[in-house]
């Protein structure tokens, strides 16, 4: 990577943090999923224990490890290691979609793309710089979301049960395999839509399709059809990595002057 | 060495529209070439072909012997482009925009800032350097685009209607800068415009386009001799002889087409001999506008 590409990456990342509307969109979903949801869930179980009993019956379906005899601790463990991992996947999809839509379609919409195309960088370098910027923002948002989620859950866990509840191996695959690859898939979908899309919102609709498999995973898990084990996540991660590689290559071929300046 | 060469250059868009049709032009260093014609003449398409944004359907074009379709980034390093569709970032200030574009042209941030401030001073934008682009007027944006195109000291400038939206004073400022750049720095300017009067002020050579075809090409003198030789003699007089009254304008001025200077004293003598007084005589050579309209009407009548 050269300094010219670094300048594009820096500019793209700064432009999203300077745009209040975009920045709010980036913040809302992670705050709801990683702070609000666990906070409300754990406190409601704590203050209304009858609800918790029904939930404990549901938990028998899942292979929860033996906890120190506390049903609340089991519920917190369920929250952290069964419920939140799938919800968490929405964050990298959303962050990379918002960022790449602004980076690719936003430039076209504001007529700044043509200026960038007249610079002494190859199309491949411009494409790479923009993909890297979107990817870095997505990873940054995911890392901050995970950290804040952990702080909320551990604080509540210690305050309620007197001990911490640790994340299991699933989180390793979520953070280091699935979140990065699913971000790349979302970025490539936006790039492919960028030729046809007239506005940022048009392009973001493309990434909504990625949420469907995530929702299916959630439904499958809650209906008992599917249990999201560490091994299943590893397989999903490898498939996502393959898909991301293929789609990146395809998107790069789609990234041509004439296609980009059409309309 | 030819800086720009267009050889039988043609571009047909996917819908079948022939935007550029077999155009041949060569440009040398330091020339200010006026590529003139109305909207839809193929001027912007030609700039896009020279910038590598479009691939020719037939023929070829080169910039410093480089094929823009094959080596666009090498061509971009040598040229600066100002077009209506090439805008800058509203969220950044004037100087931040120039520093960003300087950095992607390979300049260090301090070099970009120094060069950017120099250009902002020259283009009378220095006081607005820390204002966000969203607060700039159309004219200010246009001048900043001009500064952006010059940030890396290009060897060629492709300008597509660079003074549209500018007030007369700012337009004059840009004209002076174009003249200076070509004269002192040897920059070749490829200027597209439909404002023929303004082009005549700054261009050294012209290409007249209509519907993708190059109607004529050359210096003003060459175009005058090729297209409409002669001049118009303007006389303000009284007691105009009957045979000359058909040349009289509603304002009472005689406008007589002449082929040689010899016709001037002959006409003056006739007016004086018929008892008239002459208050003013001048000859006007055909302007670029006259040549363009002469060409287009001749083409229409040939159809």
Are residues A7 and B76, on separate chains, in Cβ contact within 8 Å? no
- Answer whether residue B302 is part of any domain: no
Q: Within this chain, do residues B107 and B158 fall inside the same structural domain, yes or no?
A: yes
Q: Tell which wins on pLDDT, B99 or B240.
A: B99
If pLDDT is split at 50, 70 and 90, which confidence band does B86 have?
confident
Nearest to A120 among B54, B73, B91 (CB): B73
A119/B83 CB distance under 8 A: no
Q: Which of A7, A110, A116 sits opposite B103 (nearest CB)?
A: A7
- Same-domain status, B147 and B171: yes
If you measure CA to CA, which chain B residue comes closest to A122? B73
CA–CA dist B25, B37 (Å, integer): 15
Residues of B whose CB is below 8 A from A110: 87, 89-90
pLDDT at position A263, please? 57
| ipTM entry | 0.85
Asked if B74's CB is within 8 angstroms of A119's CB, the reply is no
Question: What CA–CA distance (Å, rounded) separates B35 from A18?
Answer: 41
Is B148 within the bounds of a domain?
yes
Query: What residues pair up with B76 in beta bridges, in sequence order?
Result: none
Q: How far is B96 from chain A (nearest CA, A)?
A: 10
- Residues 6 or more apart in contact with residue A112 via CB below 8 angstroms: B87, B88, B89
- Report, in this order, helix, strand and coil percent for chain B, each rounded to 5: 40, 25, 30
pLDDT recorded at residue B95: 97
Neighbours of A206 (CB within 10 A): 22
Question: What local confidence, expressed as pLDDT, does residue B198 receive?
Answer: 85
For residue B164, the enclosing domain spans 2-225
Q: Averaged over B138-162, what is the pLDDT?
A: 93
Do B141 and B268 belong together in one domain?
A: no
Examine the domain organization and report whether B214 and B251 are in the same domain.
no
pLDDT digits (tens, 9 = 90+) for A167-177: 988 899 999 99
Do B7 and B103 have their domain in common? yes
Measured between CA atoms, the residue of chain B closest to residue A10 is: B100
Per-chain mean pLDDT for chain B? 90
Of A3, A18, A115, the CB nearest to B103: A3
Predicted local distance difference test score (pLDDT) of residue A204: 72
Residues of A in contact with B106 (CB under 8 A): 3-4, 120
B128 shares its domain with B263: no
| Rounded-to-integer distance, Cα A211 and Cα A208, Å | 5
Decide if B28 is inside a domain: yes
Question: Is B248 found in the same domain as B148?
Answer: no
User: CB distance B83–A257 less than 8 Å?
Assistant: no
How many structural domains are present in chain B? 2
Shortest distance between the Cα of B155 and any Cα of chain A, in A, equals: 14
Cα B200 from Cα B220, distance rounded (Å): 8
**pLDDT top residue among B79 and A168:** B79
The pLDDT confidence band at residue B13, using thresholds 50, 70 and 90, is very high
CA distance A123 to A205: 25
DSSP string, B234-294: EEEESS--GGGGGGB-TTS-EEEEESSTTHHHHHHHHHHHTT--EEEEEEEPPPHHHHHHH
The closest alpha carbon to A127, from A116, A111, A137, belongs to A116
From B207, B225, B243, the end of a domain falls on B225
Q: Is B213 part of any domain? A: yes
- Surface-to-core class of residue A107, CB atoms within 10 Å of its CB (0-12 exposed, 13-18 middle, 19+ buried): buried
Tell whether the model's pLDDT for residue B51 goes beyond 80: yes
- The span from the first CA to the last CA of chain A, in angstroms, equals 31
Residue of B249, B247, B287, B251 lying closest to B263 (CA atoms): B247
Please report whether residue B120 resides in a domain: yes
Residue B142 has pLDDT above 60, yes or no: yes
B23 contacts B30 by C-beta, under 8 angstroms: no
Kindly report the nearest CA distance between residue B85 and chain A, in angstroms.
Answer: 6
Residue segments in chain A with a per-residue pLDDT below the cut of 50: none
Query: Is residue B150 domain-shared with residue B135, that is, in the same domain?
Result: yes
Q: Which residues of A touch B100 (CB under 8 A)?
A: 7, 11
- Which chain B residues are within 8 Å of A258, Cβ to Cβ? 53-55
Instruction: Cite the DSSP H helix spans in chain A.
Output: 3-18, 20-31, 37-47, 49-59, 71-78, 84-88, 90-100, 106-109, 113-117, 123-161, 170-173, 179-194, 200-222, 230-254, 257-260
How many residue pairs bridge chain A and chain B with CB atoms within 8 Å of each other?
Answer: 71
Q: Does B303 score more than 60 pLDDT?
A: no
The minimum CA-CA distance between A259 and chain B, rounded to whole Å, is 10
Quick: pLDDT tens for B161-213: 888 878 888 888 888 889 988 988 889 999 999 888 889 889 999 999 999 99
E strands in B161-201:
188-193
In angstroms, the CA A112 to CA A119 distance is 12
Beta carbons of A4 and B85 less than 8 Å apart: no
Burial letters B156-167, b for 16+ CB under 10 A, else e: bbbbbbbbebbe
- In this structure, is residue B51 part of a structural domain? yes
**pLDDT per residue over B103-123, tens digit each?**
999 999 999 999 999 999 998
Nearest to B50 by CA among B74, B29, B75: B75
Tens digits of residue pLDDT in B204-247: 999 999 999 999 999 999 998 887 777 888 999 888 888 887 78
Radius of gyration of chain B (CA): 23
Contact A120 B106 (CB under 8 A): yes
Shared domain for B253 and B116, answered yes or no, is no
Q: Report residue B59's pLDDT band, with 50, 70 and 90 as the boundaries.
A: very high
Query: B220 and B239 share a domain?
Result: no
* Nearest-by-Cβ selection for A119 from B55, B85, B105: B105
How many CB atoms neighbour CB A215 within 10 A? 11
CA atoms of B178 and B166, how far apart (whole Å) = 15
Say if CB A220 and CB A156 are below 8 A apart: no
User: How far apart are the C-alpha atoms of A63 and B10, rounded to whole Å?
Assistant: 70
Looking at the complex, report in whole angstroms how far the Cα of residue A190 sits from the nearest Cα belonging to chain B: 21
Determine the pLDDT at residue B220.
92
The residue of chain A nearest to residue B81, with distances taken between CA atoms, is: A118
| Residue A99 CA from chain centroid, whole number | 12
What is the pLDDT, as a whole number, of residue B113? 96
Same domain, B221 and B235: no
Assess whether B200 and B268 both reside in one domain: no
Cβ contact, residue pair B101, A111, below 8 Å = no
**Chain-chain contact of A114 with B88 (C-beta, under 8 angstroms):** no
Inter-chain touch A114–B53, beta carbons under 8 Å: yes
C-beta contacts of A231-240 below 8 A and 24+ residues apart: A233/A85, A233/A170, A233/A173, A233/A174, A233/A177, A233/A178, A234/A173, A234/A177, A236/A178, A237/A173, A237/A177, A237/A178, A237/A181, A238/A177, A240/A177, A240/A178, A240/A181, A240/A182, A240/A185
Of B177, B204, B225, the domain-final residue: B225
Task: Choose the closest CB to B81 out of A19, A110, A118.
Answer: A118
Tokens describing residue B214: 């190059």
In this structure, is residue B289 part of a structural domain?
A: no
Phi then psi for residue B106, to 5 deg, are: 90, 5
Report the candidate in B251, B232, B183, B246 with the shortest Cα–Cα distance to residue B31.
B183
What CATH number has the domain bearing residue B97? Answer: 3.40.50.300
Task: Measure CB to CB from residue B87 to each of A115, A119, A121 and give the nearest one.
Answer: A115
Q: Is residue B296 part of a domain?
A: no
C-beta atoms surrounding B264 within 10 Å: 17
Please tell me the predicted confidence (pLDDT) of residue B153.
Answer: 94
């Amino acid at each position: 990577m050269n300094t010219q590409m670094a300048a594009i990456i820096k500019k793209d990342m700064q432009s999203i943090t300077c745009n209040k509307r975009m920045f709010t969109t980036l913040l809302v979903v992670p705050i709801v999923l990683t702070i609000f949801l666990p906070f409300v869930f754990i406190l409601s179980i704590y203050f209304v224990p009858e609800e918790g009993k029904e939930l404990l019956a549901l938990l028998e379906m899942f292979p929860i490890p033996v906890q120190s005899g506390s049903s609340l601790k089991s519920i917190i463990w369920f929250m952290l290691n069964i419920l939140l991992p799938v919800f968490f996947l929405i964050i990298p999809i959303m962050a990379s979609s918002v960022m790449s839509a602004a980076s690719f379609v936003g430039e076209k919409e504001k007529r700044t793309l043509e200026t960038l195309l007249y610079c002494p960088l190859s199309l491949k370098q411009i494409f790479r710089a923009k993909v890297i910027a979107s990817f870095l923002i997505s990873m940054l948002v995911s890392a901050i979301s995970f950290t804040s989620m952990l702080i909320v859950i551990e604080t509540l866990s210690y305050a309620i049960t007197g001990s911490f509840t640790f994340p299991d191996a699933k989180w390793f695959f979520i953070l280091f395999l699935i979140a990065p690859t699913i971000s790349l898939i979302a970025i490539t979908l936006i790039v492919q839509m960028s030729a046809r899309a007239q506005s940022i919102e048009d392009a973001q609709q493309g990434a909504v399709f990625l949420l469907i498999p995530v929702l299916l995973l959630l439904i499958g898990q809650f209906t008992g059809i599917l249990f999201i084990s560490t091994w299943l996540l590893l397989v999903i991660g490898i498939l996502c990595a393959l898909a991301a590689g293929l789609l990146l290559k395809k998107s790069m071929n789609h990234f041509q002057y004439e296609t980009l300046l059409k309309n | 060495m030819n800086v720009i060469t267009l050889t039988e250059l043609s571009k047909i868009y996917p819908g079948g529209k022939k935007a550029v049709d077999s155009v041949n032009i060569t440009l040398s260093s330091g020339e200010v070439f006026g590529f003139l014609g109305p909207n839809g003449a193929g001027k912007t398409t030609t700039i896009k072909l020279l910038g590598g944004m479009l691939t020719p359907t037939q023929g070829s074009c080169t910039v410093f012997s480089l094929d823009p379709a094959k080596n666009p980034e090498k061509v971009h390093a040598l040229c600066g482009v100002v077009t209506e569709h090439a805008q800058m970032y509203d969220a950044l200030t004037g100087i931040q925009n120039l520093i960003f574009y300087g950095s992607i042209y390979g300049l260090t941030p301090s070099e970009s800032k120094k060069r950017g401030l120099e250009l902002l001073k020259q283009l009378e934008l220095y006081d607005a350097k820390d204002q966000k682009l969203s607060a700039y007027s159309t004219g200010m944006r246009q001048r900043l685009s001009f500064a952006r195109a010059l940030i890396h000291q290009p060897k060629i400038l492709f300008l597509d209607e660079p003074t549209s939206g500018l007030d007369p004073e700012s337009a004059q400022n840009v004209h002076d800068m174009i003249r200076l750049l070509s004269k002192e720095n040897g920059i070749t300017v490829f200027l597209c415009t439909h404002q023929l009067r303004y082009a005549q002020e700054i261009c050294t050579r012209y290409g007249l386009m209509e519907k993708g075809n190059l109607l004529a090409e050359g210096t003003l003198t060459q175009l005058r001799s090729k297209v409409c030789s002669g001049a118009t003699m303007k006389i303000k007089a009284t007691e105009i002889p009957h045979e000359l009254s058909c040349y009289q304008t509603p304002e009472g001025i005689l406008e007589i087409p002449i082929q040689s200077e010899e016709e001037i004293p002959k006409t003056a003598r006739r007016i004086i001999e018929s008892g008239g007084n002459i208050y003013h005589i001048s000859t006007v050579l055909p302007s670029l506008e006259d040549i363009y309209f002469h060409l287009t009407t001749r083409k229409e009548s040939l159809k």
